């Protein structure tokens, strides 16, 4: 690089030219100036310039989601160009392994048109609180200033009732399903189902008082009415049908137990369905379906086994309380567990657990 004066050609003395040339450092730094061109795009990245590039591109708020400065700068620059678009949300949530999200804008005609929801595509996992807080944070950085991420869901999604557009029983009046984490503004609604195939142990019918055989004479008890199948004046004609009908009328809970067999809690059976109705075939087994749900945040602990539990009475002051802890239930005549089977899950704050036991008798 040659010396070039910036002094006026007229009225400049030799002394002034000499001082200018003597103090000019271009000759000393010219090679460095040429070499620095394109330095921030070179790979591998010179680690000494990385902090300045992070500052230049405004990537400090997302730096905790990357292991290396190169990844932060390369992916962060691409994300900065997308901010305010759905693509920015998809990009940023993939940093915390949400790889299959679905963004859902508010339906047309709603007053709060700026709200949007995200189908997260999977449950939050073991690091539930950290991951969901990160998702809320990244969505807030990525979405448009006029939009508001208010709800994320997967596996359990019950919407607020819209008059004339949704059915009672399939919607919630004035709200949508979900719960907020402490300090968070986004509502989270997750759910999963645990389906268990179980078989009633030998002798369970005797303990429960439904030990009938075909041809037995029938003693008319208050629990047996003309609605009961498999009976005539002469006696029992189909013991399996009668046993199933009687068992469905015995109050029951689904008990959840830890690895040591100690109770985690008891869920009141909300729905009981007799699945098999063809009792005429001698080879047909009778299957009863016991179903219960545990709401968001009411239970904690890890479950190792589940069973249908008979004989429990609520002492929580609310006879129809859906979830009972071990100190809220009593067994005056003893606890009877039927169909105890292995199941493995841990309760989460934002996950609604549904347990279905298909009991063969």
* Domain identity same for 146 and 274: no
Place of tokens 């904690």: 300
Confidence of residue 332 (pLDDT cuts 50, 70, 90): very high
pLDDT at 165: 52
pLDDT for the residue numbered 264: 97
pTM: predicted TM-score of the whole model, two decimal places? 0.81
Percentage of the chain beyond pLDDT 70 is 88
User: At residue 1, does pLDDT exceed 60?
Assistant: no
Single out the residue of 298, 290, 289 nearest to residue 352, CA to CA.
298
At 97-144, the pLDDT tens digits run: 999 999 998 765 566 678 999 999 999 999 999 999 999 999 999 999
Cα–Cα distance, 174 to 196 (Å, whole number) = 34
Tens of pLDDT along 185-195?
999 999 999 99
- Per the model's pLDDT, the better-predicted residue between 83 and 161 turns out to be 83
Q: Do 177 and 158 contact (CB within 8 A), yes or no? A: yes
Token pair belonging to 36: 């620095």
For the residues of 42-69, what is the DSSP string, one character each? -SS--TTTHHHHHHHHT-GGGGGG-SSH
**Across the strands, what pairs with 266?**
255, 324
**What digits encode the pLDDT tens for the residues 280-327?**
555 556 788 999 999 999 999 999 999 999 999 999 888 888 999 999
Quick one: 198 and 180 in the same domain?
Answer: no
Same domain, 168 and 230: no
| Contacts (Cβ under 8 Å, ≥6 apart) of 26 | 1, 3
Pick from 19, 186, 275: which is nearest to 176 by CA?
A: 186
pLDDT tens per residue, range 173-184: 557 889 999 999
Judged by DSSP in three states, 245 sits in helix
Q: Which residues contact 95 (CB under 8 A, 6 or more apart)?
A: 62, 65, 66, 75, 138
Is 285 found in the same domain as 231? yes
Contact 195, 358 (CB under 8 A): yes
State mean pLDDT over 8-31. 82
Same-domain check for residues 221 and 309: yes
- Distance from C-alpha of 311 to C-alpha of 239, rounded to nearest angstrom: 23
33 inside domain: no
Q: Shortest CA distance to 178 belongs to which of 104, 96, 254, 119?
A: 119
Instruction: Clarify whether residues 180 and 293 are in a common domain.
Output: no
Q: What is the mean pLDDT of residues 347-351?
A: 97
My answer on whether 178 and 207 are in the same domain is no
Overall average pLDDT of the 242-257 stretch: 90
- Count structural domains, the chain: 2
Supply the mean pLDDT for the chain.
Answer: 86
Q: What are phi and psi of 56, to 5 degrees?
A: -60, -40
Q: Residue 91: name the closest of 107, 75, 104, 105 by CA.
A: 75
Instruction: Reply yes or no on whether the pLDDT at 240 is more than 90.
Output: no
Q: Are residues 170 and 284 in the same domain?
A: no
Q: Is the pLDDT of residue 148 over 90?
A: yes
Whether 161 and 204 share a structural domain: no
Residue-level pLDDT at 118: 97
Lowest-confidence range among 204-208, 258-262, 291-295? 204-208
Helices (H), the chain: 14-23, 26-36, 50-57, 69-82, 86-94, 128-142, 204-208, 239-247
**Distances in whole angstroms, Cα of residue 337 to Cα of each of 199, 208, 346, 347:** 12, 10, 21, 22
Q: Do residues 278 and 334 share a domain? A: yes
One domain for residues 340 and 225: yes
Q: What is the pLDDT of residue 164?
A: 47
User: Is the confidence at residue 278, as pLDDT, over 60?
Assistant: no
Q: Does 123 share its domain with 234?
A: no
Last residue of a domain, one of 157, 185, 213: 185
Residue pair 148/115 in contact by the 8 Å Cβ criterion? yes
Domain region containing 139: 83-185
- Whether 44 is covered by a domain: the verdict is no
Domain boundary among 124, 152, 185: 185
Specify the higher pLDDT residue, 75 or 204: 75
Q: Is the peptide bond before 44 cis (omega within 30 degrees of 0)?
A: yes
Q: Which of 185, 205, 240 delimits the end of a domain?
A: 185
């Amino acid at each position: 690089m040659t010396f070039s004066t910036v002094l006026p050609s007229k009225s400049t003395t030799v002394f002034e030219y000499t001082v200018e040339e003597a103090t000019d450092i271009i000759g000393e730094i010219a090679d460095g100036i040429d070499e620095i061109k394109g330095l921030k795009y070179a790979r591998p990245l010179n680690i000494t310039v990385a902090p300045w590039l992070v500052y230049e591109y405004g990537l400090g708020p997302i730096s905790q989601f990357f292991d290396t400065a190169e990844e932060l700068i390369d992916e962060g620059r691409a994300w900065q160009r997308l901010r305010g678009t759905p693509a920015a949300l998809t990009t940023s949530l993939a940093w915390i392994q949400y790889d299959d999200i679905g963004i859902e804008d508010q339906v047309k005609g709603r007053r709060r048109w700026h709200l949007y929801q995200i189908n997260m595509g999977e449950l939050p996992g073991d690091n539930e609180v950290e991951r969901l807080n990160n998702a809320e944070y990244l969505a807030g950085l990525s979405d448009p200033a006029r939009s508001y991420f208010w709800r994320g869901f997967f596996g359990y999604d019950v919407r607020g009732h819209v008059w004339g557009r949704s059915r009672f029983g399939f919607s919630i009046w004035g709200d949508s399903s979900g719960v907020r984490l402490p300090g968070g503004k986004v509502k989270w609604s997750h759910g999963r189902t645990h389906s268990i195939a179980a078989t009633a142990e030998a002798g369970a019918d005797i303990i429960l008082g439904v030990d009938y055989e075909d041809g037995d004479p029938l003693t008319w008890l208050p629990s047996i009415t003309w609605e009961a199948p498999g009976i005539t004046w002469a006696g029992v004609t189909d013991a399996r049908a009668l046993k199933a009908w009687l068992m469905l009328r015995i109050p029951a809970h689904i008990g959840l137990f830890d690895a040591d067999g100690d109770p985690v809690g008891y869920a009141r059976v909300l729905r009981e369905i007799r699945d098999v109705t063809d009792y005429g075939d001698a080879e047909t087994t009778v299957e009863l379906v016991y179903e219960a749900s545990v709401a968001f945040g009411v239970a904690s602990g890890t479950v190792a086994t589940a069973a249908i539990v008979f004989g429990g009475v609520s002492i929580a002051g609310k006879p129809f309380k859906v979830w009972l802890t071990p100190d809220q239930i009593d067994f005056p005549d003893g606890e009877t567990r039927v169909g105890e089977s292995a199941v493995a899950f841990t309760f989460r704050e934002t996950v609604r657990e549904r347990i279905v036991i298909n009991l063969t008798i």
